[in-house]
Structure 1
């Protein structure tokens, strides 16, 4: 089923429970609902993890874990999906978020010229923070909803295919017994 496919790529629950940054949640992480893979907990975890991936702060995993505990989404998926924004993808993702935010602030996109230097960061970040944060919010909400819907559709299709396979196996088994 879909659970087997997802479990294959998830980290070990013991490793997540022993993570030094997630120890702040204490016994709240021992709630069994946080570790089950149901269509609801997985869909909520995807939404949560993708949304937190668009939050431009350090320790996104801690935010995702705290929110997963509150809404009882799958903790492993919520934390793992935050790594969509990693050092390799971060410039592209946050650049896209800035572009989306600048559509709402057209006057800020005229003066934007990126340089990889401390001076640029210290002097220019004040001019772009509004479109950047708005873009992160818009992208986070949009992709969280898209991820939620996609997982629900994927789960439904996967379960329907499994039921069809079961029925086919039963028919074949019955045909073998009759023959």
Structure 2
């Protein structure tokens, strides 16, 4: 994973610490260890961010920030990845998690009515919640593990590729000893 690419899109810690709404987390945001871009910190950030994104809970970003602190992961990546479940994708992702949970629990999944309403959801919540929780946790664990593995493989491939390119450049460049 190219560090320069990630650094280009990451906010600066000082900018975030000045935000009035984030002052209560200034000690966390100011920790330089949470801004490091290494293979381990980025892979752990993907694990934490993807795990937190799949949980059907409020304040996913706070959970991701705390998880980044615990896992020594990159804080902005962890928190940013939570936005995979944004208001547009959340219904689809959580419905898929519910269907997976219902399948794992061997219970029939409720069909969505033609006119979906908050009243229908509130009435069905007691039946939906166990399957949604199981499906969400299973999806979160699987995505966290896959995300960590894929990032580590991509990072290793990128480093290997840059080593090979460096080796090729050195072979083509004239040696200093030959010029004397």
Give the TM-score normalised by structure 2.
0.89
Gaps of at least 5 residues in structure 1 are none
Aligned equivalents of 1:84, 1:178: Cα separation in 2: 56
Q: Counterpart of 1:146?
A: 146
2:112 corresponds to which residue? 113
Pair 1:70–1:94, CA change in 2 (3 A): same
Count the aligned residue pairs: 178
| 1:31 Cα deviation from its structure 2 partner | 1.7
The answer to whether the 8 A contact 1:68-1:78 is kept is yes
Work out the CA distance in 2 between the residues paired with 1:16 and 1:60.
18
**Structure 1 position 12, deviation (Å):** 3.5
Could you tell me which runs of 5 or more consecutive residues in structure 2 were left unpaired when the two chains were aligned.
none
Which residue does the alignment assign to 1:46?
46
1:176 CA displacement = 10
Distance 2:173 2:69 in 1: 45
Give the CA deviation at 1:13: 2.9
| Distance (Å, rounded) in 2 between the aligned partners of 1:15 and 1:56 | 30
Decide whether aligned partners of structure 1 residues 138 and 161 sit closer, same or farther in structure 2, where only a CA change above 3 A counts: same
What residue in structure 2 maps to residue 104 of structure 1?
104
Evaluate the alpha carbon distance shift between residue 85 and residue 21 of structure 1 in structure 2; reply closer, same or farther with a 3 A threshold: farther
Residue 22 of structure 1: CA displacement?
4.1
Distance 2:60 2:133 in 1: 15
- CA deviation profile, 1:72-120 (whole Å, cap 9, x unmatched): 11001001100110011111211111111111223241x4434421220
Aligned pair in 2 of structure 1 residues 21, 64: CA closer, same or farther (>3 Å)?
farther
Aligned position for 2:37: 37
Distance 1:21 1:104 in 2: 40
* CA-atom RMSD in angstroms: 2.1
Q: 1:140 to 1:106 in 2, by over 3 A?
A: same
State the partner residue of 1:67. 67
